[in-house]
Structure 1
Amino acid sequence: MELEGFVIKCLGGFYTVETAQGMVTCRARGRFRKDGISPCAGDRVTVQADGGSGALIEILPRKNHLVRPPVANLERLFVVASLRDPAVNLPLIDKTLAVAEVNGVEPVVIFTKIDLGDPGPLLETYRLAGIECCAVCSERGEGLAQVRELAAGKVSAFIGNSGVGKSTLLNAVFPGLELETGEISQKLGRGRHTTRHVEFYPLPEGGYAADTPGFSTFDVERYKLTDTEQLVAGFREIERFSHDCQFTSCSHTCEKGCAVLRAAAEGKVAKSRIESYGAMYQEIKGVKKWEQKNKHV
């Protein structure tokens, strides 16, 4: 029986697919490997099912696809950061947001552990950029209703450093998930990985939310963020002011009369966002056009 379905998780070469006839555990046809395509969580697929097992035979067209975490067809990406243990890493947040923006995924920034500090200045940074923000304390239940409302009816993923509390947050927002959580390593000052693969969970209000493995580094070349012109689209407030620049070739890093730098000087763009943009620009400006075409997606 041929069925369409939604890939809930990928683990050990097996794909768990939700279909109208129930869950089907599949192996992928060999031609995917030959074509250099890997099914991933979030894919809409066609399977040949025989009871609870079968073969994954086709990946339907994707709206978008992220490499890390490997996930497709996202509508919303929740970028989770903690105020302490581990400390906020603004460049990492901004790189992740840029990936969401250029892939057509609506980003949301969540600051956890607000009982350990004041999230006010950080919230202002991203609200100034026009990005939705949440401030939460999972233990005290603060801010959970906002997260629940934003996730309802959407295909979403929660992403961030190890130890920021993604699994704890999901358990608090959606009681019943019972996701494994870990402690912070006092020696290393960062979280231990408890989530080892991407898995989507159906939500009571409709939609799906995925918990993802934590990470601490970010390779922009793996995300097609190697084009300086495209990079501007990853920073919505910089793109907005860039239209007023005198020169179409303005890099928005040092040019005299740059409308973006003027807006930053006037407090209309957060200093940390300009710094993140500038650092990413320097990181990728040397990548040649022909190299960009050959980067692995």
Structure 2
Amino acid sequence: MSWWNDADDDDLDDEFDESDVRVRPNPKANRPRTKRRPSHSDAVTARVLGVDRGRYSVLVAEGEPDEREVTATRARELRKTPIVTGDAARVVGDLSGDEGTLGRIVGIEERTSLLRRSADDTDQVERVIVANADQMLLVVAAADPEPRPRLVDRYLIAALDAGIRPLMVITKTDLADPAGFLEHFSGLADLRVFRSSQSDPPVAEIGESLVGHSTVFVGHSGVGKSTLVNALVPDAGRATGHVNAVTGRGRHTSSSTESLRYRSGEGTGWVIDTPGVRSFGLGHVDPENILRAYPDLAEVAAECPRGCSHLPDAPDCRLNEAIDAGDLPVARVDSLQRLLLTFDRRTEW
């Protein structure tokens, strides 16, 4: 005879039920996953002035009596979003600007322009330089270091690809006559050029073109870009350097991109100073936009046969025929064809 009574089993079933088992709540495990994020309806729009080791300097209440600079970090959901100088950022948190306070960037407004470059022409990974600029001022030295027409061509292509109006200033004109260099760009009727000596930069003339605009300054190392920025914005304090007598190369002085406000009796504008570079890759640029940087050549190329590559071996190419006839400068057409050839090889790869 079994010592266990079936009746006892029935009594246990009546006493204990599965619904009586207490389950310890686990909010994290039981909470449904969602991609929804806070709306941040209290966010204010601020201009990104610069970035330093993961901290962003932003301008809150721009143009208002309580305008102030605030230090901010980026929200976690923006960790893969590039935030660059010139961006219009949505910011929350402590926006008092007091020492030790920190805001948080939670969004970026739609950009009107984006200036980019790549490491080289075969690298399609873009490096964003500045956002929302509407002008580019190319700073080129007439000598020391020698001007590089093909580098300037690349700047022009990047500007036009981004929808940015290019300007140019030739520095150190007291050291050499820039006429031969400027001949390379004679076909660019809309390119405004300023001439500047080391002792007498045309600050007022250049400044007039900056009012009401956001202008990014670019140039080869050692051309006097930082010196010009300091003349336009006296409290900028941008470091200046010299050109190595042996290599003929300038030393990098500006290590970061920074927005500086230009002020004059005519109004205000923004000067965006960038580090000097010795190369400017165009791996991100649509090859069809290259010809736009050569409007004088594009006019001739419009008469080429359909599908013409405009390369030196292209049959019946009007550009090559114009060179043979002496109607176009060889150096300028050669600059265009070198760039087109680079992109043609990239496509084959």
Which TM-score band (shorter chain)? 0.7 to 0.9
- Of 20, 37, 46, the residue aligned with 2:90 is 46
State the SS of the aligned residue for 1:115.
coil
Q: For residues 154 and 263 of structure 1, do their structure 2 counterparts lie closer, same or farther at Cα, with a shift above 3 Å needed?
A: farther
CA contact (8 A) 2:138 2:167 kept: yes
Q: Which residue of 2 aligns with 1:28?
A: 74
- Give the deviation of 1:241 after TM superposition: 2.9
Partner AA of 1:209 in structure 2: V
- Give the deviation of 1:11 after TM superposition: 1.2
1:240 equivalent in alignment to 2:299: yes
- Of 204, 208, 211, the residue aligned with 2:273 is 211
Distance, in Å, in 2 between the alignment partners of 1:239 and 1:201 is 36
- Give the gaps of 5 or more residues in structure 1: 292-297
Q: For residues 275 and 145 of structure 1, do their structure 2 counterparts lie closer, same or farther at Cα, with a shift above 3 Å needed?
A: farther
- Give the deviation of 1:67 after TM superposition: 3.0
Q: Which residue of 2 aligns with 1:173?
A: 232
1:88-237 alignment, distance < 5 Å: 88-130=147-189, 131-141=191-201, 143-204=202-263, 205-221=267-283, 224-225=284-285, 227-237=286-296
Distance, in Å, in 1 between the alignment partners of 2:282 and 2:134 is 21
Distance, in Å, in 1 between the alignment partners of 2:195 and 2:328 is 21
Report which stretch shifted further, 110-119 or 19-28. 19-28
Quick check: which has more Rg, 1 or 2? 2
- Of 67, 71, 78, the residue aligned with 2:116 is 67
Distance, in Å, in 2 between the alignment partners of 1:105 and 1:268 is 30
CA contact (8 A) 2:311 2:341 kept: no
CA contact (8 A) 2:50 2:56 kept: yes
Distance, in Å, in 2 between the alignment partners of 1:43 and 1:113 is 33
Q: Which residue of 2 aligns with 1:295?
A: none
Q: Which residue of 2 aligns with 1:294?
A: none
Distance, in Å, in 1 between the alignment partners of 2:138 and 2:69 is 29
1:83 equivalent in alignment to 2:127: no
State the SS of the aligned residue for 1:100.
helix
Q: State the TM-score, normalized to the length of structure 1.
A: 0.87
- Give the deviation of 1:242 after TM superposition: 2.6
Partner AA of 1:206 in structure 2: T
State the SS of the aligned residue for 1:101.
helix
State the SS of the aligned residue for 2:200.
coil
- Give the deviation of 1:115 after TM superposition: 0.4
Partner AA of 1:89 in structure 2: R
Distance, in Å, in 1 between the alignment partners of 2:316 and 2:76 is 56
CA contact (8 A) 1:128 1:269 kept: no
Partner AA of 2:344 in structure 1: K
Percent of residue pairs bearing the same amino acid type: 28
Partner AA of 2:241 in structure 1: G
Aligned residues: 283
- Of 58, 61, 66, the residue aligned with 2:107 is 58
Q: Which residue of 2 aligns with 1:13?
A: 54
CA contact (8 A) 2:147 2:181 kept: no
- Give the gaps of 5 or more residues in structure 2: 1-41, 62-66, 118-127
Distance, in Å, in 1 between the alignment partners of 2:328 and 2:155 is 18
Q: Which residue of 2 aligns with 1:249?
A: 307
Distance, in Å, in 2 between the alignment partners of 1:239 and 1:54 is 49
- Give the deviation of 1:270 after TM superposition: 4.0
- Give the deviation of 1:7 after TM superposition: 0.6
State the SS of the aligned residue for 2:177.
coil
- Give the deviation of 1:112 after TM superposition: 0.7
State the SS of the aligned residue for 2:331.
helix
- Give the deviation of 1:122 after TM superposition: 2.4
Q: State the TM-score, normalized to the length of structure 2.
A: 0.75
Partner AA of 1:280 in structure 2: L
Q: For residues 277 and 22 of structure 1, do their structure 2 counterparts lie closer, same or farther at Cα, with a shift above 3 Å needed?
A: same
